[in-house]
Chains A and B, each alone.
Chain A
Amino acid sequence: MGIPEMGERRRLLKAVRLVDPAAGRDGTFDILIGGDRIARVGVDLPVDGAEVVELPAGVIVTPGLIDIHVHLREPGQEHKETIATGAAAAVAGGFTAVACMPNTTPVNDQAAVTQFILKRAAAARQARVYPIGAVSVGSNGEQLAEIGELRAAGCVALSDDGLPVATALLMRRAMEYASMFDLPIIDHCEDQSLKGQGVAHDGEVAGLLGLRGIPGAAESIMVERDISVAEMTGARYHVAHMSARQSLRAVRAGKARGVRVTCEVTPHHAVLNHEALAANGGYDTNCKMNPPLREEADRLAMIEGLRDGSVDAIATDHAPHHADEKALDFDQAPFGIVGLETAVPLCLDRLVHAGVIGLPRLVELLSVNPARILGVPGGTLAEGGPADLTLLAPGHQVTIDAARMVSKGRNTPFDGWSLTGAVAATVVGGRALFVGPAALGRPALWNEPDA
């Protein structure tokens, strides 16, 4: 499996800086790619007829980044995004794979929808797409979805995202049932009674702006409920878009007890707090998402969790909306911002350059752990494994320009931000699907026949 066959395209990335913590590699290496697979990783590999690729200085190779929480909106909401545009936005953002949530129309609660998604993704030939199936039929919280069928069709996890898993009993049964297939349950943790009609974090800023609040406890109560049920059933459980410090406290305690709990934080919850709602006149709907931007203490808690290892993954919760939808008043506008194309610059600038974490840890958060949580290949460059690589240019300056985003959705609070750190290129299965300006103006990183 390691030696590519004759006739397969072979490329040798020579003496590149590689950060692959799962393989214990952080240094200068040669990477030989054969066809769509990694053939070998080592030092001073023989060229042996392969096409040699030299990378510009300052470019760092990592295993392909995986975003385990995106909304691709198709089927049913194609005005916001399609699988093709979303998967293309992913590679533009440096992601070789994404896992998409099931709250489409219809909900991905049956094999037919899963198969549709996979078919569309295959046709798009951009980032890999791993469907997440619904926990309950229609995510209505009343009846288990046909989880065995969803698994057989290709779902890698289960969630009723958009909504929490409705009751502790449903969570219990879902965990028991799903653990027969080793599927993790991902919960959008939010006690609906405490959420009420809330649109922003329940704090000073919302209070002064006259916006109804959603307290951090709405999230943490459900995290605690879920961890108890996970403890009882022994199932795998993942907290989606964690934002409140109380939630992280519960996750830490659960992990200490041996509960199989993991969690993710979005870049925006690590970078912004609720003050953003008051900035620039206030009420910017591009600052409206669920869970909301919270207090500085919550943001700092998330930062600490990213640093000390209690947070397992960074995921964007990429939630594209049509401009018309976000152009409503704050109460009416839908929750959500895009994130695929801003994640890497934000993480490199505000986490790595800011000294919160190093590159190896970033790779853990964006590749190693996501692959492990979903049980999909990747997270490391393994011989015989898929040739999914992300080429980062941590020193490259970018200015976020929403108008030129690949995603159909342009709803981001980071428009105009100047950040240090960019994606140089994204390689999926040996094909360079995205080559950006950080590749220093080279027309193509390598020659790509129209395959």
Chain B
Amino acid sequence: MAIVMDADRMARSLARMAHEILERNRGLDDLALVGIRARGVPLAERIAAQLRALTGSEVPTGALDITLYRDDLMQHQVGPQPVIRRTEITFSIDGRLILLVDDVLYTGRTVRAALDALIDFGRPSAIQLLALVDRGHRELPIRADYVGKNLPTSRQQTVHVRLVEIDGRDEVEVEG
């Protein structure tokens, strides 16, 4: 087991990505953040805080639960069933640039489910993706626009992202 990112590194990665967002999008006017539950949500809030500190602007932030859109729900799956949680997107996404935020980008299926959900909510002008960690092994043609850390892993390994808001500390650990 190895800690591949500590609290300090994480903070700097988030700060760097916030700058990248600003750079790429020429201002924040139509930007909104949507964190994918569970850990994508505090990450989205941190990004929003960074953007606020940099520009003084408030970026709308929402939370998306994709359990009902997963494609692996009805398959035989080992391990506990995911519990559905509330989706909270209180703003209209029509015509907005939506930045999806997730902790780990892996097969890409979670992001695909998130895209399906977002389409049901409205018609964004564009969707971008921010992932704290990209561990490879994509099964769908999906890529992140902003990556905190590229982390080559094998399929047998497990990546644990821990955040202060949920786990009491900030770190990324690779197991196996």
Q: Do chains A and B touch in the complex (CB under 8 A)?
A: no
